[in-house]
Structure 1
Amino acid sequence: MTRTLHAVLPGDVDDPDSPSGGNRYDRRVLDGLSAAGWSVHEHPVAGDWPHPAPANRAALAGMLGALPSGSLVLLDGLVAGAVPEILAPNAGRLRLVVLVHLPLGGGAERAALRHATVVVATSTWTRRWLLDRYRLPADRVRVAVPGVDRAAAVPGSPAGGRLLCVAAVTPHKGHDTLVAALAAVGELDWRCDCLGPLGRDPGFVERLRRHIAALGLAQRVRLVGPRTGPALAAGYATADLLVLASRVETYGMVVTEALARGVPVLTTTAGGLPATLGRAPDGAAPGLLVPPDDPAALAGALRRWLTDPTLRNRLRRAARDRRETLTDWTTTTMSLAAALEGTE
C-alpha cells in the first residue's frame, strides 16, 4: 500500500541563495521517501519563518484546513514552532509530525510540539534538549540524524594552510570569533574561505568585513557567499581543515560533510558538535574541540594544526577512518519513515 505524506516546508527550501543544513536535510529525506515508494506532496509556505507575517499564517492555516481528515503531515520545525494556534485546531483531525532541526526555545514552540503526534529531532542532543526543556513524553520524540554522501578522500596540502568555514555568516556561527583567532596566528601561512549565505544578518556581515579589513586580513579571509552542489564540493576538495566556531549547534552537518572526504575538523563543544565529530573506530579523534566564544582557545588549536605536522597527519588518518562510520541518507530516511509509520 502506498503511504501518503504531506510535507510543509519553508518557502526557500530549494533556494540556492539560501542553503542551510535544515533545507538540505528536508530535501534529501523527502526525495528518499519518494524513492522508497511514498507519495509525497510538498507544501512550501512563503514567509520569514519563524517570524511569519499575518498573510503567511493565514496561508498556512488555509492549506492545513484543506487537507483531508486523517492526513499524515510532516512540518518543518521552523514553521510549526511559530504557530501553535494554527496547529491546535488540526491536532485531532490530522496526524501532525514536527521535524526539529534547531529548537526555537520559547512558549510558542513548547505549545506547538504538544500538538504533534510525533516529534522527530535531528540529533540525540536535540532530543535531550526537547525532553528536558519542554517535558514532552519520551516515547513521542524520535531521532533521525542527518546522513552524508561519502566522497573521494582529500589528500590535503603539506602545510595544512587551506582553511574552510561552511556556514551562514551570522553571529551564532561565530565568524567574529574565527576572525579574531585567525588574526592571532597572522604570522603563519594560511588562507580561509568562508562559504555561506551573507544576507541573513547584513549588519553583522558589514561589521565583520570592516573588522577583517582593519586587521589587514582582507586578502586572506574571503567571505565567498553561498555555495551548493559542485561549487560546494570543490570547496571541500581543496580544504585542509574545516573550521566551525559555532556558539550554538544541534548537529552540524558540515562536520560530517568534511569527514566524508577525510578532512579533519576544528570546532567547538557547543551543543551536539562533539557527538557529530565523533571518533574513528580505534577511538582516535578526527579533529579538535575548543570552547565556544573563545578566540584564544581557537587560535591555540589553529597554531597547533599549522605548526605540528605530526598532529596534522594523525588527525588526517583519524578523519579518513571516521568516514567508514558515518550515517548515510538511506539510514536517515528509514529512521524518519519508522517515526512516521509510528503515527498509525
Structure 2
Amino acid sequence: MSGAGGLLRVGFAIPGDLDTPTGGYEYDRRLIAAGPAAGLELSRLPLPGGFPEPTLDEAAAARATLAAALATSRGPILADGLAMGALSPERWPEGLAERLVILCHHPLGHETGLPPERARAMLETEGAALRAARSVLTTSRVTAAALAGELGVDPARIRVAVPGLIPAEPAPRRGAPPLLLGVGTLSARKDWPTLVAALAQLRDRDWRCLIAGDVTRDTEAAERLERVLVEEGLDDRIALPGALRRAQIEQLYAEADLFCLPSRHEGYGMVVLEAMARGLPVLAADAGALPEAADGAALLLPPGDPAAWAEAIARLLDDADERERMSAASLARAARAPRWEDAARIAAEALREAAAGQ
C-alpha cells in the first residue's frame, strides 16, 4: 500500500530470471526502474522459471508465493502474464482476483509453432485468468483488441501502457560493408529464416548481418537456423552471437546500417523503436503490433515472404536517398514516442484503482 509521500508499494510477480534478455523481461525491468517517478514502487515477487508451461511443483510454488504476498500486504499485486496466463483462476489463492492486475505482453497461445490443441488450451486458461483479474495492463492497442475480441476481457478493464523509449545518439551508418542488424530471441515466432532466405538471394551483394538473440529459449528453432546458414553457405556472413548484455546491444545499434525484424507476431516490438532512436532504416513484418510500434516510419513487409524481403533490402542497399529518407522517418517516430515514465504512470493508475477496490 501507500507509504510516506503517497508512494504506492506493490509486489510484482515475475517468473524466472528478471535479467533474461527478452522484450517482455526488458519491459518489466524498465517498468520497475521508472516506477518511483510515477509514485510506484514495484518489488519483485519471484516465481519459478518453468512458465508458461510449469510443472505441478512450479505451479504450486507460484501459488504459495502469491498467497504469502496476500497475507503480508493489503495492497494490489501486479503479475506478469507469462505466469498468470498458465495458472487457472479456480486454483488461485483466496482473495487474489480482486487485488490482481495482470500485465499481458501478448496472448501466450499466439506463440508461433504451437500445436493447435495446445494453443487453444493456453488461450482458454489465459482468457479465464484475464477475465478474473481486477484489471489488465497490456503493451499495445493491438493486443488490447485481441484480449477483448478473442479472450472476452471487458475493454473497460484494460489499460494500454506502451513501452517507453530512452533517447540515444543516432548511428553514423557508414558500414563497409553495411551491417544488417536483427535483435530478438532465436525462436519460431521471430522467423529469422525468412531474413536468411532473403539474404541468400542477395549473396552477390556487399553486406554483413548479425542476429543477436537468446539461443536457449527455443533450441529447436535456433538449431534449425544454424543449419540453414550452413546449407546456404552464409555462416561466414551472418553471425549469431547469442544473448548479449545491454551494453553490447547498444554498441550494435551504433554500428548498424539497417534494422530487420521479420517476426510473425509481436505484442509491440520494442526493438523497432530502439533502432529508430538511432536513426536506422527499419524493415519489419506487417504482423501483430509491429505496424503500431512503427507508426508509419518502417517499411512493412509480408511475413514469411523472402522474395519481398530480398527486393526491399536490395532497394535500400542501392538507394542512399531512400536510406536517408527512412532514417529521418525513424528519428521523427522516435521523437514522438512515449517515455518509460508514461508507462509507469499508466500502470500506477491501474494499481491505485485496484488498491481502492474500484
Taking the aligned partners of 1:93 and 1:294, their CA distance within structure 2 comes to 43
Give the TM-score normalised by structure 1. Answer: 0.93
Taking the aligned partners of 1:6 and 1:300, their CA distance within structure 2 comes to 49
Q: Aligned match of 2:56 in 26, 50, 54?
A: 54
Q: Residues 95 and 302 from structure 1, CA distance in 2 versus in 1: closer, same or farther, beyond 3 angstroms?
A: same
Q: Residues 240 and 90 from structure 1, CA distance in 2 versus in 1: closer, same or farther, beyond 3 angstroms?
A: farther
Partner of 2:112: none
Query: 1:36: how far off?
Result: 4.3
Taking the aligned partners of 1:319 and 1:2, their CA distance within structure 2 comes to 36
Runs of 4+ deviating beyond 6 Å: none
Q: Which structure 2 residues correspond to residues 149-188 of structure 1 after superposition, within 5 A?
A: 149-157=166-174, 161-188=178-205
Query: 1:34: how far off?
Result: 3.7
Task: Provide Cα deviations, 1:171-197, integer angstroms capped at 9, x if missing partner.
Answer: 110111111011011111110001010
Taking the aligned partners of 1:64 and 1:86, their CA distance within structure 2 comes to 14
Q: Residues 323 and 47 from structure 1, CA distance in 2 versus in 1: closer, same or farther, beyond 3 angstroms?
A: closer
Gap regions ≥5 residues in structure 2: 1-5, 110-122
Partner of 2:104: 100
Partner of 2:133: 116
Taking the aligned partners of 1:147 and 1:300, their CA distance within structure 2 comes to 32
Q: Which structure 2 residues correspond to residues 250-289 of structure 1 after superposition, within 5 A?
A: 250-279=267-296, 286-289=297-300
Residue 350 of structure 2 aligns to a residue whose secondary structure is helix
Task: Provide Cα deviations, 1:124-157, integer angstroms capped at 9, x if missing partner.
Answer: 1100000101121111011000011110011212
Asked if the contact 1:80–1:87 (Cα under 8 Å) also holds between the matched residues in 2, the reply is: no
Q: Which structure 2 residues correspond to residues 1-344 of structure 1 after superposition, within 5 A?
A: 1-14=6-19, 18-66=20-68, 67-68=70-71, 70-85=74-89, 88-91=92-95, 94-105=98-109, 106-157=123-174, 161-279=178-296, 286-343=297-354, 344=356
Deviates more, 1:177-186 or 1:201-210: 201-210
Taking the aligned partners of 1:147 and 1:93, their CA distance within structure 2 comes to 28
Give the number of aligned pairs: 335
Query: 1:320: how far off?
Result: 2.0
Q: Residues 39 and 153 from structure 1, CA distance in 2 versus in 1: closer, same or farther, beyond 3 angstroms?
A: closer
Asked if the contact 2:131–2:152 (Cα under 8 Å) also holds between the matched residues in 1, the reply is: no
Residue 224 of structure 1 aligns to a residue whose secondary structure is coil
Taking the aligned partners of 2:263 and 2:51, their CA distance within structure 1 comes to 21
Residue 5 of structure 1 aligns to a residue whose secondary structure is strand
Q: Residues 85 and 136 from structure 1, CA distance in 2 versus in 1: closer, same or farther, beyond 3 angstroms?
A: closer
Residue identity over aligned pairs, in percent, reads: 40
Taking the aligned partners of 1:39 and 1:333, their CA distance within structure 2 comes to 10
